Amino acid sequence: MSKYFGTVGEHTYEMEIVAAERITVDKKEYLLDFRAIDSDVFTISLDSKNYRTLIEVGDGESVRVRLLGRTYNVHLQDELHRRLQPARDRDSSARARGEIRAPMPGLVVGVSVRVGDRVQPGSLLLILEAMKMENEIHSLHEGIVAKVLVQKGSAVEKGEVLLTFR
């Protein structure tokens, strides 16, 4: 069976399904029973401890696992994808630093920067109104605003690029 690497928070678990109903996690072996109730509803039992869970595909390579009222975003890769990772990291982090995307759908009620402005981490970039609340969008990095793709009154979708930096 193929190996998987699942990262939760700062720890990466190395997993391998070694036989029917057996899995190793970081070399330690567990008894496993995994059953689908529906395409997103599962029960999982590890060494006879039983859990109800909802599982969805998240963004990118993440899998969203909901367990006992908690949400775990597991970044999951098989061996092949793990080997390709370093190159893709360089690529995506460069892209992520270069733009700001809408964290939720909403209405732009104010833009605080102009093309050419220098911003610091924490600088207010714009204000997005959603569900009666005004949400301030701040910069995560230092940079210079290259493009402002929205203006006051623009309705935006989640994930839409709002600003780019150079």
Q: How far apart are CA 156 and CA 88, in angstroms?
A: 28
Q: For residue 161, give the nearest of 40, 52, 145 by alpha carbon.
A: 145
Q: Which is nearer to another protein, 54 or 161 (CB)?
A: 54
Tokens of 52: 């109800």
CB of 99 to another protein, least distance (A): 17
Beta strands at 143-148 and 161-165: parallel, antiparallel or unpaired: antiparallel
| CA 31/CA 62 separation, integer angstroms | 24
User: Residue numbers of the site for another protein (CB under 8 A)?
Assistant: 1, 4, 6, 8-9, 11, 13, 15, 17, 19-21, 23, 25, 30, 32-42, 44, 46, 51-56, 63-72, 74, 76, 78, 103-107, 130-133, 135, 158
Is the Cβ of residue 47 or residue 87 nearer to another protein in the bound state?
47
- CB of residue 158 vs another protein: minimum separation in angstroms? 7
Q: Name the residue among 96, 109, 104, 92 with its Cα closest to residue 143.
A: 96
Q: Which is nearer to another protein, 98 or 105 (CB)?
A: 105
- Cα gap 142→155, rounded to integer Å: 26
The residue (of 19 and 144) whose beta carbon lies closer to another protein is: 19
Task: Write out the two tokens for 53.
Answer: 């869970």
